[in-house]
Amino acid sequence: MRNNHEIDYKIHGEEMQCVEIELDPNETVIAESGSFMFMDEGIEMATVFGDGSGRSDGFFGKLMTAGKRLLTGESLFITTFTNVVPGKQRVTFAAPYAGKIVPLDLSQFDGKVICQKDAFLCAAKGVQVGIEFQRKLGTGLFGGEGFIMQKLEGDGMAFVHAGGYILERELGVGETLRVDTGCIVGFTSRVSYDIQFIKGIKNMVFGGEGLFFAQLRGPGKVWLQSLPVSRLAAKIMQYGTYKGKDEGSILGGLGNLLDGN
């Protein structure tokens, strides 16, 4: 028997996905602010302080939970959606950028999955959304995106979103995978995480990548994304500040118009 609410779901779409959650009477789903899309009229929405898991930790416990959420870049508050009528009702949440929604049944992963700090989308009530510090010194100093991560704990369904295409890897005992830190969506609790320095001066100067990569060591499951939102944002900024070859020429902006840009 699960401690968390048992919810049914359906994921719609291919590249711009949304997840439809079906709630029985008195069932609740928690969601990150800004992920709501639409819902049936029998669902009641509320904003709560903390992670919305329903734990009775008192005010200071909720304050600590909310503070941890701030460290992962999330809001102090989370939104709950509860079915308050006798029949089944539905609520739908959308990912904030192009990519995939990954459903995670936490009961199948020893009750815990660690994911990127902005990956959480929604979950069954009772799932705890916390913070996972990577303890090794090298990770703390150089990990960047991978130093502070979210942890999802419980035995219910949770949903995370990721950019581009999703790859799943099952690592055996001692098997190692070296990954760009931004390409990690999440991994199970038995996978160890560390930061490795890229060797070779030419790699550092001319490689075009960061100076460090993540090392994941099994056993456990790893989810990877092909297009981290940080990489997408960097490219947009690059093109947004790029000065075209015809800027400053006689035609200038008119040349862009003539080219159809």
The residues spanned by each domain of the chain are: 8-235
Average pLDDT, the chain: 79
Tens-digit pLDDT profile for residues 42-98: 999 998 876 556 554 554 454 455 445 455 455 567 899 999 999 999 999 998 888
Assess if CATH 3.30.70.20 describes domain 8-235.
no
- Identify the CA nearest to 166 among candidates 188, 180, 191, 183: 183
Tens-digit pLDDT profile for residues 111-120: 999 998 889 9
Is 0.75 topped by the overall pTM? yes
3-state helix vs strand vs coil in the chain, percent to 5 = 20, 40, 40
Least confident of 8-22, 149-163, 196-210: 196-210
To 10 degrees, the CA torsion angle through 166, 35, 91, 54? 100
